[in-house]
Amino acid sequence: MKFVDEFRNPEQSLALLHRIKATVTRPWVLMEVCGGQTHGLLRYGIDVELSGVVELIHGPGCPVCVTDMAAIDHALDLAHRPHVLLASFGDMLRVPGSRGSLLTARANGANVLMVYSPLDAVRYAESHPSEHVVFFAVGFETTAPATALAVLQAQRLGLDNFSVLASHVRVLPAMEALIQAPQNRVQGFLAAGHVCCITGYSDYEEFVRRFRVPVVVTGFETIDLLQGILDCVMQLESGSAEVHNSYSRSVDRNGNMHARDVIAKVYEIDTRVWRGLGPVDSGGYSIRRELQQFDAMHRFNLKAVAQNEINPDIALQARCRAGEVLTGRLKPCDCAEFRKACTPETPLGAPMVSSEGACAAYEKFHPRATL
């Protein structure tokens, strides 16, 4: 298949693996920021092939995993209200909040709809005027423009029964938080290719100057990943720290100007609580005040819940070490609950649920002892 097979070519992949091994004179610690990259690495066993050469720390780039539990609780609350329909992406529906997931809420009578696109939620609102449709919007800069378009579309249609529970997050501020954390071990970043499709990579230029770490914009196929790793270790070996674009078939320096315009039109940059990281300055997008009629927080008079107000007793929070996983301090397979209390059927936290979560990647691809 075009645009897939050429980037999974076995001979080229082997050659790149050899080059990485030949380049490295000491083990390096890299972070792949995006969960899609984590899955690519584990699916093809690249982490195993490079063991002892490059340690890959799995970053927080899984939109579902970093969504704060308070946001999920707001979504659960809305889904149970009469005449409200809560729409979200399939991945989001299985993630546990402090009292179950949206899927269990649906089984208990809540009005929950899985959509493929935020515009589907707008269409549903248009054809069901007696219901109020709330789109639970999660994701990085990748999905933020689609949500923004949905808001603008609802505005154009004059819909009064559509709003967005926005939990969009911005990846660069999270990288800044990670690199400045006292226990940080990351020496180079594979930046998230799809996020950079939207944002471009000019913002990373300041980041590498400030923190002296190489950043390589990296794609998701085997060859993309290996090229990103090679570029990163070549920089580390030579002592340089620059932004390189190893995913140039999709990304340019300025990103997608149209998408960036739409983002600027609909959102303002805001502090956001990330699951695992806590509050991140400029770490999220909120709906602009001018568009607050489409902001579910405003429409339903919801209050932002501080992290410490969430019931700390619940077993789920106490036992799930998602925060350490998301910041690269704990490998999922080293968690005491992994494949024991925490499985895809009974996830203790989001990284086990999401198709991009690091724990789900280990559950999928990490060998088990025996049958």
Give the footprint of another protein on this chain (CB under 8 A): 1, 4-5, 8-10, 13-14, 36, 42-46, 48-49, 63-64, 89-94, 113-114, 116-117, 120, 127-128, 138-140, 142-143, 194, 222, 344-345, 354-356, 363-371
Give the shortest CB-332-to-another protein separation in angstroms: 14
Give the residue with the Cβ less far from another protein, 198 or 236: 198
Give the shortest CB-23-to-another protein separation in angstroms: 19
90 Cβ neighbours under 8 A, 6+ residues apart: 114
In three-state secondary structure terms, 61 is strand
Give the shortest CB-16-to-another protein separation in angstroms: 10
Give the residue with the Cβ less far from another protein, 168 or 321: 168
Q: List Cα–Cα distances, 95 to 50, 288, 350, in angstroms.
A: 32, 27, 5
Q: List phi, psi (to 5°) of 207.
A: -60, -45
Q: List phi, psi (to 5°) of 214.
A: -70, 145
Give the residue with the Cβ less far from another protein, 279 or 344: 344
Counting Cβ atoms within 10 Å, is residue 253 exposed (0-12), middle (13-18) or buried (19+)? middle
Cβ distance 140 to 192 under 8 Å? yes
Q: Return d(Cα 100, Cα 97) in angstroms, integer.
A: 5
Give the shortest CB-290-to-another protein separation in angstroms: 27
Give the residue with the Cβ less far from another protein, 236 or 359: 359
Give the shortest CB-39-to-another protein separation in angstroms: 8
355 Cβ neighbours under 8 A, 6+ residues apart: 39, 91
Give the residue with the Cβ less far from another protein, 8 or 99: 8
